[in-house]
């Protein structure tokens, strides 16, 4: 392997936090991916086994390699003899002996399109480790899960469905047992407990390593609670949630969609990690602090021998401590806050780790040996460089936290921009749905647990308890800082707004000139959609507000339109809750946020969809198949007729649509033809 990146896993140490508690090192597994032999251990996922084998890049996207991480990895295809091909998520699929896998590269997937083995004989002959999955098309990497549009294999009924198996979700389940409710607890990862171990315990609290097993033991031994791990909620509607589940049945991987129905839902979905904005922020070797923590703690994964931690949030400092504890040379902890205070800093000093405050990453680049060259700058003056570049194997970054409100949006919930925390927060109420834990803005392990209990009590109209929300003492612990932004908007090379599949970059800096200056000051300037290709995430919206690409007062509505996990529209329509436009007599009006989006001449029309096709609010409409980029769209679905799932209302550019007998509606799994109906 390349210099400086020999290590891919920590050795086992029962006294270390980073030793891979989920894998069984005495039970090796071996499988094939695109003809390559991948070795791992029982307990690995396909992704963790790939990382442990030495892969660190998905390929060259926009002329630069992009890191392979839990947030950004392609889908895979499993095809065994005499068995149907399965489309699977790489990060949630357990590694199994003898699997034959291919990378999912085509949106029009058929069994005949499974990739053929592509052995790299030069790498094999020279004894080098293959490091890239060789993707070159961003279209293949930004596709939503191919399973999203598949029908549910079964429908399960409960009194309560809890999404999120962290401390808040466990607290809600614990309280549900007291009320005698039948509960489904859905958790995306393979373990319950969420992120409590990463954030740690406050003074006076039990250690997460002690507290979480107590909760899990009580819930696992109750006949009232059924736990679904490796299961991701993908849509939410009126009294139902559809989820995609991966499991092992009769020794083989099983993939299915499940529809959960219940009169009550608790969303305990936690937070998303914000990505600091600088050139090179998604190169191989760059990873978010929380992802680095879980890869090391669960699978022992750690690439390289040297590291730098750059953060605006104190918990990320734990990654430095735990990695140093097991032999990694942590060259520096860089904190964008001025004179921050944290109990973790005192521990870092004991390890001899230097701390630079009021400093952030200016840029990162890869050298010929695969090491990162990291340049720093001062937080208050990002254009002013600080010191010489530092070479390092791994750059761990953390820009703070955004409540994960995607399901809340999908249920019809509203959000607003909070200037103090610089993120989106939930507002209002949704009947039958309650928020709990850090996605509700709660901090602290005990507070999240109490918040889960209160969330259930509120749904049952029972008395909620009063508890003291743990305040952060500024004397001992500084609050999270602002999102570090070092991008000048003049050089967007390998600079992204989020670490996930959206691949959204900062908008180019507006051209200078007299007329540009005059017209840029006009009020009610339309929001720029030009950089929004494919999925738009909550983190994208947060970054766009801080980059002045979206006005803060519009951020909540913009996120509701573009960032929800949209309801299954044959059950319900969320457009009424968001826009408030479709009361009696208003069918001819476009929602406020789409007015002017598709030109000056717009109309609301009723579409007839070809075949048995389901579309969702927000699906874009195109005049033909030649161009599918958002800028080429001439309309958008705004409501589906509840009485006729093959009919939908849309706002369209009247001039273009009038000249077309057939329009194209693109959705999560492809496209469908549509014609305008006269009413």
Helix spans in 480-524 (H): 514-519
pLDDT score of 517: 53
Distance (Å, whole) CA 212 – CA 171? 10
pLDDT score of 574: 34
pLDDT score of 570: 32
pLDDT score of 63: 85
Q: What are the tokens at 545?
A: 């507000």
Distance (Å, whole) CA 529 – CA 631? 7
Q: Are 323 and 18 in contact (CB under 8 A)?
A: yes
pLDDT score of 81: 59
Q: What are the tokens at 676?
A: 């305008």
Calculate the alpha carbon distances from 167 to 156, 200, 624 in Å. Answer: 24, 12, 48
Supply the DSSP symbol for 370.
S
pLDDT in tens, 204-257: 788 898 999 999 999 999 999 999 999 999 888 778 899 999 998 888 888 999
Distance (Å, whole) CA 428 – CA 342? 34
Distance (Å, whole) CA 317 – CA 277? 19
Paired with 24 in beta bridges are 42
End-to-end CA distance of the chain: 66
Distance (Å, whole) CA 377 – CA 388? 10
How far does CA 172 lie from the centroid of its chain?
23
Q: Are 76 and 103 in contact (CB under 8 A)?
A: yes
Supply the DSSP symbol for 625.
S
Paired with 356 in beta bridges are 334
pTM (predicted TM-score): 0.81
pLDDT score of 313: 94
Mean pLDDT by 10 residues, the chain (679 residues): 63 88 95 92 96 93 92 88 78 94 67 40 50 83 75 93 97 96 97 92 84 94 96 88 91 90 96 96 96 96 95 93 92 92 80 90 91 94 88 96 93 92 93 94 89 94 61 68 82 85 82 54 42 69 93 88 53 33 45 72 84 78 79 84 79 81 79 79
Helix spans in 383-432 (H): 406-410
User: Cβ neighbours of residue 621 under 8 Å, at least 6 residues apart?
Assistant: 607, 633, 634, 635, 636, 637, 650, 652, 657, 663, 664, 665, 666, 674
Strand order in the sheet with 154-157: 154-157, 252-261, 240-249, 231-237
Q: Of 469, 443, 472, 196, nearest to 340 (Cα)?
A: 472
Distance (Å, whole) CA 261 – CA 663? 34
- Scored b (16 or more CB within 10 A) or e, 249-263 reads eeeebebbbbbbbbe
Distance (Å, whole) CA 159 – CA 224? 10
Q: CB-based burial of residue 350 (10 Å sphere; 0-12 exposed, 13-18 middle, 19+ buried)?
A: exposed
- Fold exhibited by the domain 575-677: Elongation Factor Tu (Ef-tu); domain 3 (2.40.30)
pLDDT score of 92: 95
pLDDT score of 615: 81
H or E stretch covering 304 = none
Other beta carbons within 10 angstroms of residue 519's beta carbon come to 11
Pairing of strands 225-228, 231-237: unpaired
Query: Domain 154-272+402-459 has what CATH class?
Result: alpha beta
Q: Where are the domains of the chain?
A: 154-272+402-459, 575-677
Distance (Å, whole) CA 668 – CA 469? 41
Q: What are the tokens at 665?
A: 């509606």
Distance (Å, whole) CA 461 – CA 399? 38
Q: Measured on CA atoms in the order 526, 528, 530, 534, is the torsion positive or negative? A: negative
């Amino acid at each position: 392997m390349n210099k400086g990146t020999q290590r891919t896993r920590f050795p086992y140490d029962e006294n270390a936090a980073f030793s891979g508690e989920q894998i069984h090192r005495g039970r090796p597994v071996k499988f094939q991916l695109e003809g390559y032999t991948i070795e791992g251990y029982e307990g690995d996922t396909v992704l963790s086994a790939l990382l442990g084998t030495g892969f660190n890049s998905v390929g060259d996207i926009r002329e630069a390699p992009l890191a392979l991480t839990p947030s950004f990895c392609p889908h895979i295809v499993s095809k065994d003899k005499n068995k149907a091909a399965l489309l699977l998520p790489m990060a949630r699929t357990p590694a199994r002996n003898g699997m034959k896998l291919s990378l999912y590269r085509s949106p029009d997937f058929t069994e005949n399109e499974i990739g053929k083995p592509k052995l790299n004989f030069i790498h094999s002959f020279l004894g080098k480790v293959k490091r890239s999955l060789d993707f070159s098309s961003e279209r293949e990497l930004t596709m939503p899960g191919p399973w999203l549009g598949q029908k549910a294999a079964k429908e399960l009924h409960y009194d309560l469905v809890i999404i999120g198996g962290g401390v808040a979700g466990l607290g809600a389940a614990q309280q549900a047992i007291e009320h005698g409710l039948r509960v489904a607890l859905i958790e995306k990862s393979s373990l319950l407990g969420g992120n409590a171990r990463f954030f740690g315990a406050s003074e006076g609290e039990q250690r997460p390593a002690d507290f979480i097993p107590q909760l899990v033991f009580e819930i696992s031994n109750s006949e009232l609670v059924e736990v679904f791990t490796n299961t991701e909620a993908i849509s939410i509607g009126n009294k139902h949630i559809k989820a995609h589940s991966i499991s092992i049945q009769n020794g083989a991987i099983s993939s299915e969609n499940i529809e959960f129905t219940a009169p009550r839902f608790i969303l305990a979905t936690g937070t998303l990690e914000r990505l600091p904005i600088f050139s090179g922020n998604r190169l191989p070797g760059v990873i978010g602090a929380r992802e680095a923590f879980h890869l090391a703690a669960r699978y022992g994964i750690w690439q390289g021998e040297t590291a730098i931690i750059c953060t605006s949030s104190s918990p990320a400092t734990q990654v430095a401590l735990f990695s140093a504890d097991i032999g990694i040379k942590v060259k520096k902890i860089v904190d964008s806050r001025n004179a921050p205070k944290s109990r973790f800093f005192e521990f870092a000093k004991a390890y001899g780790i230097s701390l630079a405050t009021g400093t952030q990453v200016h840029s990162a680049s890869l050298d010929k040996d695969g090491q990162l060259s990291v340049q720093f700058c001062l937080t208050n003056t990002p254009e002013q460089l600080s010191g010489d570049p530092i070479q390092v194997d791994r750059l761990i970054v953390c820009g703070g936290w955004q409540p994960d409100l995607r399901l809340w949006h999908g249920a019809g919930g509203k959000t607003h921009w909070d200037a103090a925390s610089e993120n989106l927060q939930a507002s209002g109420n949704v009947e039958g749905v309650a928020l709990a834990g850090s996605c509700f803005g709660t901090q602290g392990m005990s507070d999240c647990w109490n918040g889960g209990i209160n969330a259930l009590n509120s749904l049952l109209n029972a008395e909620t308890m009063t508890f003291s929300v743990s305040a952060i003492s500024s004397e001992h612990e500084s609050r999270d800082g602002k999102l570090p932004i070092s991008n000048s908007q003049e050089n967007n090379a390998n600079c992204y707004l989020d670490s996930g599949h959206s691949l959204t970059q900062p908008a180019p800096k507006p051209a200078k000139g007299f007329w540009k200056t005059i017209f840029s000051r006009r009020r009610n300037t339309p929001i720029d959609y030009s950089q929004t290709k494919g999925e738009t995430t909550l983190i994208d919206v947060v970054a766009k507000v801080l980059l002045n690409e979206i006005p803060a007062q519009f951020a909540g509505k913009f996120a509701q339109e573009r960032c929800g996990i949209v309801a299954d529209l044959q059950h319900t329509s969320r457009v009424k809750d968001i826009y408030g436009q479709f009361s009696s007599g208003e069918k001819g009006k476009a929602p406020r946020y789409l007015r002017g989006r598709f030109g000056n001449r717009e109309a609301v029309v009723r579409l007839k969809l070809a075949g048995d096709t389901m579309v969702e609010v927000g699906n874009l409409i195109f005049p033909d198949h030649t161009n599918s980029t958002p800028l080429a769209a001439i309309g958008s679905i705004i409501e589906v007729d509840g009485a006729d799932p093959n009919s939908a209302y849309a706002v369209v550019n009247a001039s273009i649509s009038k000249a077309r007998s057939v329009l194209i509606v693109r959705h999560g799994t492809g496209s469908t033809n549509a014609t305008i109906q006269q009413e």
